[in-house]
Amino acid sequence: MMCQNIKQNVDDLPGEIGALIDTINGEITSWDWSPSSSYDAAKYGKQIKQTGWTGQIDIANATYFIVVKWEIANNFAPEEMGMRAIALYDKDNKLLFMIRATEGVGGWHD
């Protein structure tokens, strides 16, 4: 589900995904997702569309927010479609963990 950029540039991607999940310290009691942003661009016949989603994850004694940037269309590099970033924040908006592409998260990339 990750874009090619992440697959090529994140060392030990399975380990990083595991570390992100392990950062949530407890059993999830509830969660909810909602769209939070979008990015569309076109130039020289090339087009990109990205969407952002924010999820709230509740455990017994804490609340986390997870933000996902997903490229849903790319007519010139389809292998770059997929997750371009996933980040976990605490309730005070402190970044706890992030996996992201080296470029083109909520913006243009070639």
pLDDT per position as a tens digit, 67-109: 999 999 999 999 999 999 999 999 999 999 999 999 999 999 9
Edge-first strand order for the sheet with 46-59 is 28-43, 46-59, 62-74, 82-90, 95-100
Looking at residue 110, what is its pLDDT? 83
Rg (the chain; Cα; Å): 15
Q: What span, in angstroms and rounded, lies between the C-alpha atoms of 3 and 5? A: 5
Q: Identify residue 89 by its one-letter amino acid code.
A: Y
pLDDT per position as a tens digit, 15-73: 999 999 999 999 999 999 999 999 999 999 999 999 999 999 999 999 999 999 999 99
Its pTM stands at: 0.91
- Do 69 and 105 meet the contact criterion of CB atoms below 8 Å apart? yes
- Residue 13, both tokens: 């991607």
